[in-house]
Amino acid sequence: MRYFLIASFLFFSCNAYLNGQQPADTEDWSVKPNAVHLVNKNVPSDAILLYAGKGDAENWEHVNGEALSWKTGKALTVEPKTGDIQTKQAFGDVQLHLEWRSPRKVSANGQGRGNSGVFFMGQYEVQVLDSYDNETYYNGQAASVYKQYIPLVNVCKKPGTWQSYDIIFTAPRFNVDKTLKSPAYVTVIHNGVLVQNHVELQGPTLYVGTPEYKHHEAKLPLKLQDHGNPVSYRNIWIREL
């Protein structure tokens, strides 16, 4: 088999030369990639730091426009019943990294255990939940696209342990007449394991009912949910794509 592949390669390469083709014919010099290096804690140099625990809480506000009232410090922690928060900056297509931690003390089960969420454009949710030995509906457990896609596997760590999400989000596109041109897509890596593989979103996240796209701006804020549990976040950075 190895000799057959080598022979095939040589045959097609020689055939290309006989047809007047040169190696340079297929070289692309049109766009030189920017040089990106990794800085503190492996953050890409072209990333926007949204929360690194160094006084950068000013990047956030409550969705009603009020000043941030979640607990700040080395981590950004939900202050129950104060409401969801969002970035002051709006985003479309992005690569997002964040780390989250559910409370060490387990005081509930199902959806009441370490519940929060990451909402792209304020409306497309990747679920945050303590799903370590905790049964709930599977399209509502950690790393699900809430009420749309079950994660491929459950890689949740024990309560009180830091976990990571690396997410690629492609925003939906709309035509001039405000009809849907192309849907949103999301890829999720949970604790280094692929759990959502470029899935097509059916529309914005809904708790009840069938999702349906409605026209919105090309860029909107990233939102973190207050679901009544003191979930913590840290090392949040984002890259516009």
* Residue 6 resides in a domain: no
Q: What's the structural domain count of the chain?
A: 1
Confidence of residue 30 (pLDDT cuts 50, 70, 90): very high
In a domain, 4, yes or no: no
Own/partner long-range contacts of 78-81 (Cβ < 8 Å, ≥24 apart) = 78/116, 78/224, 78/225, 78/226, 78/227, 78/229, 78/230, 78/231, 78/232, 79/226, 79/230, 80/226, 80/228, 80/229, 80/230, 81/226, 81/228
Question: What is the CB neighbour count within 10 angstroms for residue 226?
Answer: 23
Distance between CA atoms of 234 and 162, rounded to whole angstroms? 9
- Is pLDDT of 116 > 70? yes
pTM beyond 0.85: the answer is yes
Query: Domain limits at 160?
Result: 28-240
CATH label of the domain that carries residue 94: 2.60.120.560
Is the pLDDT confidence value at 41 over 90? no
Which pLDDT value is given to residue 135?
97
Instruction: Give the distance between the most distant pair of CA atoms in the chain.
Output: 74
CB 121 within 8 A of CB 130: no
Indicate whether 13 belongs to any domain.
no
